[in-house]
Structure 1
């Protein structure tokens, strides 16, 4: 599971790339079994050539030294690290890999984002290490995945089946405060369902009464 620090770095990195005119997407599976890159960005140069950047986000020393494959296959490749971690591991970073250091704002009250980056080490350019057409396809596929997520979010709960909603509620069962005396989501859900059922019955009764009186009126007119 991602830490809040990792989530912050992802968010700020996304906006950083977008501000630089890049197409950017997270968690892209690389071709040729080159692993999964945390963030991949692509820009079109003045020479009408694609320029690829790979970013590996690390929030802790254990994460940095993990055996997970590093997907540094782009033209420019970066470690994205919090400031405290950078001071501990900077001697372990290969010479050709760049470093972006994340700094949290002391207060985010007047800030759009929770922090910002400084470039502590510039990467050296290298040839793309995978087939560009395959990489472009992976980028498009990942973008389509994110669009699908956004569309599902926009549709709200109606996009999920009753079975999916039930399973999600079951996952949250440990959060149910049985004896705390507070109003739980389960209680609210049951109350809302009951209220909706009562309201539906009232509407049905009103409609039935209206139909009855209309029928009675017609019978009286026919006499």
Structure 2
């Protein structure tokens, strides 16, 4: 995407009956300060939307440019969830609060296609990382992540702290490994002493 077009939060496309491609761009905003951010809005598709919580939409509705649609996120009601016969696969749903107006693409379709493919590749990599877990991360990276969590350390409830759990598990594993080694050496020593006696 050209630098002056910004970065699209979410991009989707649909092949129409005449085989043309329809592009939709979505800007996700959660807070009022996020909505008023200086970041470039990437409304470059045929149809463009803000995706907002209901409360934020009510606060900023008058500031949304003409032609831009709005999708409202609504979390599932807890009482409704309690009576659901099947567990939902998402934490909520989206409704169209304001439909968008069609416009011509603001960038070449080839650039949108390239970005779309790149984003799919990123998602595949994320899925692979989730599958392999932490094995792919170096010790330095893991240490940096642990340091970030230090601010949540609870001195009054050490058992709830990841640090303490990690140290305890590590020490326990080390003791177990050392004990296994000592047992193996003791058995080997016993065998050697037995052979000496027999000789």
Which TM-score applies when normalising by structure 2? 0.81
CA contact (8 A) 1:32 1:130 kept: no
Mapped to 1, the partners of 2:186 and 2:129 lie a distance apart of 41
Which whole-Å deviations, capped at 9, do the CAs of 1:128-187 have from their partners, x for residues lacking one?
221222221111212222222222222222221111122222222232233x15323322
Against the structure 1 CA distance between its residues 216 and 166, is the aligned structure 2 distance closer, same or farther, given a 3 Å change threshold?
same
Structure 1 residues 93 and 173: CA distance shift in structure 2, 3 A: closer
User: 1:6-57 deviations in whole A, cap 9, x for unaligned?
Assistant: xxxxxxxxxxxxxxxxxxxxxxxx3453101221112222333322100112
Among 81, 84, 87, which residue is 2:52 paired with? Answer: 81
User: CA RMSD, aligned part only?
Assistant: 2.5
Q: In the TM superposition, what are the counterparts of 1:107-118 in structure 2 within 5 Å?
A: 107=78, 108-109=81-82, 110=84, 112=88, 113-118=90-95
CA gap 1:162/1:70 in 2 versus in 1, 3 angstroms: same
Q: Superposition pairs for residues 15-164 of structure 1, below 5 Å?
A: 30-31=1-2, 33-107=4-78, 108-109=81-82, 110=84, 112=88, 113-164=90-141
Q: Secondary structure at the match of 2:73?
A: strand
Tell me, yes or no, if structure 1 residue 171 matches structure 2 residue 143: no
CA distance in 2, matches of 1:174, 1:92: 37
Which is worse superposed, 68-77 or 139-148? 139-148
Cα distance in 1 for residues equivalent to 2:35 and 2:191: 77
Structure 1: 5+ residue stretches without partners = 1-29
* Cα pair distance change 1:206/1:61, threshold 3 Å: closer
1:191 is displaced (CA, Å) by 2.0
Where structure 2 has 5 or more consecutive residues not aligned to the other structure, the ranges are none
Alpha carbons of structure 1 residues 61 and 46: separation in structure 2 relative to 1, 3 Å: same
Task: Judge conservation of contact 1:99–1:123 (CA < 8 Å) in 2.
Answer: yes
